Structure 1
Amino acid sequence: MEITEKFTNNKQIIAFLTEQFPLCFTAGSSDAKPLKIGLFQELAIRLENETRVSKTQLRGALRQYTLSWRYLHCVKQTVKRIDLDGVEGDEVSEEHAEHALKTLKESKEKAFANKKKASNSEEKPKRAPKKVNVPTRAKKAAPKKEVVEDLSNYKEATHAELTVNQAVKVLLGKAPVSGVVVEIMKDDVQVQLNSGMTVKVKAKHLIV
């Protein structure tokens, strides 16, 4: 029993078609001819018993053949289409000729753009690898010792002895804050801190 290897790519199939139907398919520098519309169906019937190629492969190879620049160049208005045996039939319509011209133009533009892109990438000098600076660990500064203000010379203020514009210290948070008395009310004292903020506190929260 004869074992035949199946074709594995479009190039092999197109070469096979050129050999089987030389009046229809051409290769190399030979001018191509517009193919008859519906040629695939005829081709499938003729190669029905050909085990080396499937219909799917045949369709793919035929598409590649008709999208080649050599073929698109030949699809011009009034040029007659041919069948598998090279017999001329209908002429290429204006619509099909324009479509072929458009496809050819787009294909060439895409090919030239890719070629230019590849050329530019080769011309670009290779960048030297960036030097990575490994940061050195900064020595932690010794924690500053909190300066505790000597409050031994101050005493708690009383409502009666406070006067407007008197310098006082307000007991806020951990450390007393310097300020000036701006208003003395019945129960509270309004003090403007050195920061500009004004607070209202009891006299017992002030030291003088």
Structure 2
Amino acid sequence: MTGFEYLLRIMLDPDDYLHPERVPMKPAGWCALPKAARNTIIFGAYDLKTTSPESIPIDPCTFILLRSWRAIPDLCFLLGLFSQRGEWLSTDRYRQLDGRCKRFIELPLPHLAVPACARGEDVDPVVCGLTTLRLLIPTMPRVIDERLRLLFSSRIEAATSALSAQVVRVSPEDRGCWISITLLSTAARYAHYRAKSL
């Protein structure tokens, strides 16, 4: 599929990836509705916009996101792990990881220094990873950004906004862009779609 085809599917079918916490009705009633009705409700509840896919610039980083859309929560988890890998490798937390995650954070991939506020043990790796995505693509088109939010719980979104503001405040020059496209691309290959309460 082309980037435009990925984008069109993501724009028109948010029901395909909506986080369970974002569902605007009780689960039983929601599941009983036809898909078209659910999408109509989602568009109204979250004020989603559409546009011609051809009008959206799709750079290499954005294409990786579109192609990996449903796996983005896991992609963010991996980016966060890698950003915090010094802390994970030097503590007992490393033992909590499965083999795939251990292999990923041990890869000799390029990245820049990560601000201390993003490496703390109290920072959720998913929040750290989602923060890197937002800072990596600061001009993310609205139709993509507003749908990216729907992949995560409101808790993760709020924590990401707070961490992003911290990173920009302490690293105004590089705005926290410590993730290379090589690292992003590799994380996307390692990422799995996981139905998880993020």
- Normalising by structure 2, report the TM-score: 0.22
**Higher strand fraction: Structure 1 or Structure 2?**
1
**Higher helix fraction: Structure 1 or Structure 2?**
2
- Normalising by structure 1, report the TM-score: 0.21
Higher RCO structure, 1 or 2 (CA under 8 Å, sep 6+): 2
Question: Larger radius of gyration, structure 1 or 2?
Answer: 1
